[in-house]
Amino acid sequence: MGRGAGLIVTACLAAGPVAAGVGLAIGYDARRAEAARPLVARDQDYAGASACRACHPDHHASWRRTYHASMTQFPDRATVLGRFDGTPVTLFGATATPFERDGRFYFRLPAIGGEGPREAEIALCVGSRRYQQYFEQVEGPSGTIHRRLPLLWHVAEARWMHLNGAFLEPDDDDWSRHQAVWNLNCVFCHNTGIAPGLKPVAGTDDKRFDTHVADVGIACESCHGPARGHAARYASPVARYRAELGRAGPGAQAVVDPLRVGQAESAALCGQCHAQRLPDPMDKVWTFLDTGPTFRPGGGLAGHVAPLTRDTPVPPPGAPDTFRQRFWSDGTARLTAYEHQGLTQSPCFRGGRFSCTSCHTMHAGDIAGQLAPDRLGDRACTQCHDGIARNPGAHTHHAPASSGSRCVECHMPPIVYGVLEIHRSHRVESPDVARDVEGGRPNACTACHIDRGAAWAADRMRDFWGARYRRPQARPGGAPLDASEALTSLHAGDPLQRAVYLAALGRPDGAVPPGARGFVLANTLVGLGDAYGAVRFLARRSALSLDRALGLGLASDLAAYDVQAGRDVRDPALQALLQRFAAAAARARLPPPPDGAFVTPDYRIDLDRVRPLLGRQASNVISVGE
């Protein structure tokens, strides 16, 4: 090799590290690519979840698998759960067709809200666990907004459903009823680092949206706080090593550790979203709609937001009873997204230690409930109440292995509605039959002992736990107290009572033996005729569960019963189901139904007793969102 050639080789070798560095610099940068997506802007001290991954890969991975991470997503074939296959969907009096074209997703919509038939492209997907909603992007006088579309995809049912049947409200064929604007509502809790960007238009009285978020979905900085300064400081390996050695210096802890803050501050981390709320003070609403909420992790909610209560005044022009309808009469929340209110009402909270992280974790366990693996089942409670754990039967007066000895069944009963499901109350308290029945609230005892009346349940509580437990004197609306509490509420209660008890009827671990639940199924079938689509949905699910337990062979008929079809389809189908049930019950020779079960000896509905109860629903017409 000549001298010239040697110089060339030497130059190339010397340039190698530089070339490699240039290659890395111009290679794929996940953070830059993420920040360049529509809606994403990180100009409020936010770094984005991808900035956390380099130093915290395990935590990033455990967060990424949660439903928080996928709460809001841009549409593609991996994120869109619905079946956009061109099959028309007819619900609530009209037809839409979901379809895919060139890797993009659309609905062909009927005329809605003053707009003619059109195609709407999916711009955002919201939700991924129970159901997924879809939003289109609209350019107009209000700026760039994202507007909710009428159909949702129900994950467990694997079918399209209409939003008009997902909330607790009477059937309504108005397809524009739930055209919510994402920028005004969903953006606040389903994303991170929110700036709705509602600003005045110069020279006019108008305002326009220019909405941005640091991350779509609920990401690291929602709980740990804005982390741009933290990420910049620890980009240096030297700074990281110093921190590991405890020599980081003052001000180095620039992000919040939820396990190292006070009780109220810990609860506020979750309460910023899991507490329906109003700005505090109310005139701060314009700040929220421009630069976003003022709360930051590590602080309390006061001075930023005020969680709603049953007695919170409704800002005009809202209906005066809007907030009251979201709570049971004793102030217990009956909708999801009020978990913070339940937590802070709990006697456990007054002890100064109990908070969300007493039971839940973001980075371990089953993502469905995000319960810490070492706090599953009774251990969530016995970590503090260890004396009860040593002899649960002495406390519960139920068989230790039965559902009656599970802490949450009595102290956190499922009495909360949300996303076509009934959830556990987060107000940890003791059941009280008189309080619940007189207040029109479902009772934990009678949700399990569905063949029993309120007086029986109150007497058992008095026998077990003392004279302070009395019989209820009356039920709101005047329905009788001499029959099954669950079944009476199912027929005569308001929509939330009906939904809660219908869901309870299908539980496999109830006190009535599986083979004796024929009367339960008969009453559940009545729920398929409810005027509220969400109530019918829960009735159908429980009916399928009860049919499996009884082995009556009604599964195919129940599966074919479309709870969102029109009455012209549903009514004949329900009549046929009731006839088939009576015939199947006769063949199965079911045991006689108990007294007060609203069923005749041949397993037909006792219409003379049920009709007056159904008539009481007219005084309980309410509409509640989520």
CA atoms within 13 A on the CB side of 5: 2
Q: For the segment 428-471, what is each residue's pLDDT rounded down to a tens digit?
A: 999 999 999 999 999 999 999 999 999 999 999 999 999 999 99
Structural domain includes residue 212:
no
Last residue of a domain, one of 153, 174, 189: 189
Structural domain includes residue 295:
no
| Pure H helices in 375-517 | 379-382, 386-390, 392-396, 407-411, 433-438, 444-448, 454-465, 485-492, 495-505
Predicted local distance difference test score (pLDDT) of residue 236: 82
Structural domain includes residue 100:
yes
Predicted local distance difference test score (pLDDT) of residue 42: 87
Q: How far is CA 355 from CA 135, 349, 369, 406, in A?
A: 34, 7, 16, 20
Q: pTM higher than 0.85, yes or no?
A: yes
Q: Of 65, 30, 77, 67, whose CA–CA distance to 51 is shortest?
A: 30
Q: How far is CA 626 from CA 156, 157, 180, 394, 623, in A?
A: 19, 20, 12, 39, 10
623 pLDDT above the threshold of 90 = no
What token pair was written down for 71? 């709460």
381 pLDDT above the threshold of 90 = yes
Last residue of a domain, one of 172, 189, 206: 189
* Burial of 26 (C-beta count, 10 Å sphere; 0-12/13-18/19+): exposed
Q: What is the mean pLDDT of the chain?
A: 91
Predicted local distance difference test score (pLDDT) of residue 620: 77
Structural domain includes residue 196:
no
Lowest-confidence region among 242-256, 529-543, 591-605: 242-256
Predicted local distance difference test score (pLDDT) of residue 240: 78
545 pLDDT above the threshold of 80 = yes
8 pLDDT above the threshold of 90 = no
**Domain encompassing residue 100:** 72-189
Distance CA 423, CA 227 (A): 34
Structural domain includes residue 303:
no
Section 558-587 average pLDDT: 96
Predicted local distance difference test score (pLDDT) of residue 17: 36
Structural domain includes residue 460:
yes
Structural domain includes residue 194:
no
16 pLDDT above the threshold of 80 = no
The count of structural domains within the chain is: 2
67 pLDDT above the threshold of 80 = yes
Q: For the segment 150-191, what is each residue's pLDDT rounded down to a tens digit?
A: 999 999 999 999 999 999 999 999 999 999 999 999 999 999
| Pure H helices in 528-591 | 533-550, 555-560, 567-588
340 pLDDT above the threshold of 80 = yes
Structural domain includes residue 577:
yes
Distance CA 516, CA 512 (A): 7
| Contacts of 416 by beta carbon, 8 Å cutoff, 6+ apart | 333, 334, 335, 336, 338, 422, 423, 424, 425, 426
Last residue of a domain, one of 155, 189, 223: 189
Whether the ω angle into residue 442 lies within 30 degrees of 0, i.e. cis, is no
Predicted local distance difference test score (pLDDT) of residue 12: 34
Distance CA 437, CA 450 (A): 14
Predicted local distance difference test score (pLDDT) of residue 290: 97
Q: How far is CA 306 from CA 23, 261, 312, 343, 473, in A?
A: 51, 20, 9, 15, 36
Run of H or E residues at 125: strand 124-126
**Bridging pattern class, strands 72-73 and 124-126:** antiparallel
10 pLDDT above the threshold of 50 = no
| Pure H helices in 65-209 | none
